[in-house]
């Protein structure tokens, strides 16, 4: 027992002298998930573009034409900017905007007199969604103008016939438009076509990116910390610790037990930070902080015993480092510790959940969601204790061959 306490104290002091190594091992996954969250965000994303308008007519009708793009939801996707024809074309050549709309001079007069007028729309070939939205919106507005011409040709021509319409002309046009509106009411109000909506499936809520990636990145950090701690056994060998220990009555298991306990202490702090980060950073409602934290500590300790068993069977420290990385990175990719299972194909996610870290991640999410309870923790801990005991005894025996 005194040697075990001394071994624990030694390992904690060593880790305390080099906190940067521990911070790097656990900080890389957190940096990755932070960058992913900043890139993708947590809410709905809408395409953003710029519509250049070269209004050479400068009339009420041309302004009404472009106002269709300043209303929601188009106003959230497109920024309208007034420019000249030549400047607009130069900017389109540079790819500075999604589209350029040119309203020619005399557009309003041509419309009122029912004469041809040509709108020019130049789209950016490097974009697909926003130019199509602009084109479809403009097509709807033009179709509306066409039907307005057919139904209100006489009042419109009456206005166009006079440069400054008289009071009598304005009154006659107003009466004519009022009668036209009443005649169309029976077609528009109530609508002749009724639309019935049947929701086939509930709308999927927006996925919080941080909540999706944080459990995966948390367990990637556990793998990194466990692997780095497992490789330290070769440092003990190079420093002569194992050779000196072999000359004493103390077993190798005492040294290994001290390393396991010291790592569990370190993981307890990291687990609290990780679970607290899920609640504060990702705004995830953690059903049981204590169970989730304890599960992280147990999982990290089991990862260490698994990786240190691999490390002591390597022919040397360099080979141990290579083999450890060859184990950790595939497990991270397939086992849901780099890409969440929700983003994987079903067949790959099914395989990934069978890996040690995949199983641990799945159970951790259950503790966070509240679908797993104390009996599930005890069952999982018993399984990890059984496997961990075998790995512990095997590794302790193998450590004597490193002397």
State the pLDDT at residue 204: 45
pLDDT for the residue numbered 2: 76
Of the candidates 25, 79, 73, the residue with the CA atom closest to the CA atom of residue 53: 79
pLDDT at 391: 94
Top pLDDT among 190 and 328 is at 328
In this prediction, residue 205 has a pLDDT band, given cuts at 50, 70 and 90, of very low
Do 117 and 86 form a contact (C-beta atoms < 8 A)?
no
What's the pLDDT score for residue 314?
92
Lowest mean pLDDT among 12-16, 128-132, 358-362, 370-374: 12-16
Please report which confidence band the pLDDT of residue 94 belongs to, taking 50, 70 and 90 as the band edges. Answer: confident
Q: Which domains does the chain have, with CATH numbers?
A: 2-41+208-402 (no CATH), 49-188 (3.40.1710)
Confidence of residue 42 (pLDDT cuts 50, 70, 90): very low
The yes-or-no verdict on residue 188 having pLDDT over 60 is no
- Per-residue pLDDT at 355: 93
Would you say 364 and 292 are in contact if contact means Cβ atoms under 8 Å apart? yes
Quote the CA–CA distance of 264 and 270 in Å, as a whole number: 10
- The per-residue pLDDT for 202 is 46
pTM of the entire structure?
0.59
For the chain, the average pLDDT equals 80
Across 292-315, b (16+ Cβ under 10 Å) vs e yields bbbbbbbbbbbbbbbbbbbbbebe
- Region 298-314: mean pLDDT is 94
Q: Does the pLDDT at position 59 exceed 70?
A: yes
pLDDT at residue 298 in the model: 94
Per-residue confidence at 65, pLDDT binned at 50, 70, 90? confident
Alpha helices in 208-345 (DSSP H): 209-238, 241-246, 252-280, 289-312, 317-334
How confident is the model at residue 380, as a pLDDT? 93
Cis amide bond preceding 379, omega within 30: no
* Residue range 82-104: mean pLDDT, rounded: 88
Pairing of strands 49-55, 99-103: parallel
Name the CA dihedral angle for 330, 35, 285, 382, rounded to a multiple of 10 degrees.
Answer: 20
Count CB-CB contacts under 10 A for residue 126: 8
Q: Which two tokens stand for residue 240?
A: 């002569």
Instruction: Count Cβ atoms within 10 A of the Cβ of residue 15 and give its class: 0-12 exposed, 13-18 middle, 19 or more buried.
Output: middle
* Per-residue model confidence (pLDDT) at position 137: 85
Q: How confident is the model at residue 203 (pLDDT cuts 50, 70, 90)?
A: very low
- Each residue of 213-223: pLDDT tens digit? 778 888 888 88
Pick 4 or 182 by higher pLDDT. 4
> Among 49-58, 70-79, 182-191, 218-227, which stretch is predicted with the lowest mean pLDDT?
182-191
pLDDT category, 162, cuts 50, 70, 90? low
């Amino acid at each position: 027992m005194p040697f075990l306490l001394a071994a624990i104290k030694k390992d904690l002091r060593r880790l305390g002298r080099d906190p940067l190594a521990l911070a790097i091992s656990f900080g890389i996954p957190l940096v990755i998930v932070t960058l992913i969250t900043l890139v993708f965000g947590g809410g709905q994303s809408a395409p953003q573009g710029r519509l250049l308008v070269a209004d050479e007519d400068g009339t009420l009708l041309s302004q009404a034409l472009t106002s269709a793009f300043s209303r929601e939801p188009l106003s959230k996707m497109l920024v309208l900017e007034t420019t000249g024809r030549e400047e607009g074309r130069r900017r389109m050549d540079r790819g500075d905007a999604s589209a350029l709309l040119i309203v020619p001079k005399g557009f309003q007069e041509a419309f009122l007199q029912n004469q041809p007028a040509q709108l020019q729309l130049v789209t950016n070939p490097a974009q697909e969604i926003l130019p199509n939205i602009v084109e479809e919106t403009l097509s709807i507005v033009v179709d509306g103008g066409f039907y307005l011409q057919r139904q209100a040709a006489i009042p419109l021509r009456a206005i166009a016939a006079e440069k400054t319409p008289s009071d009598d002309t304005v009154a006659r046009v107003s009466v004519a438009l009022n009668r036209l509106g009443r005649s169309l009411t029976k077609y528009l109000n109530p609508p002749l076509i009724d639309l019935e909506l049947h929701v086939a499936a509930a709308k999927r809520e927006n996925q919080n990116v941080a909540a999706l990636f944080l459990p995966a990145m948390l367990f990637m950090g556990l793998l990194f910390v466990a692997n780095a701690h497992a490789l330290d056994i070769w440092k003990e060998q190079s420093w002569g610790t194992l050779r000196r220990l072999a000359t004493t009555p103390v077993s190798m298991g005492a040294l290994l037990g001290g390393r396991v306990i010291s790592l569990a202490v370190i993981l307890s702090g990291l687990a609290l930070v990780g679970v607290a980060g899920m609640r504060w950073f990702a705004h995830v409602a953690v059903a049981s902080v204590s169970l989730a934290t304890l599960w992280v500590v147990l999982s990290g300790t089991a990862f260490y015993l698994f990786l240190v068993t691999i490390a002591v069977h390597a022919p040397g420290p360099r080979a141990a480092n290579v083999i450890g990385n060859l184990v950790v990175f595939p497990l991270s990719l397939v086992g849901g510790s780099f890409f969440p299972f929700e983003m994987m194909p079903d067949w790959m996610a099914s395989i990934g959940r069978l890996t040690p870290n995949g199983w641990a991640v799945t159970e951790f999410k259950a503790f966070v969601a509240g679908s797993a309870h104390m009996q599930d923790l005890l069952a999982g801990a018993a399984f990890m204790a059984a496997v961990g005991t075998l790995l512990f005894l095997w590794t302790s025996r193998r450590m004597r061959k490193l002397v």
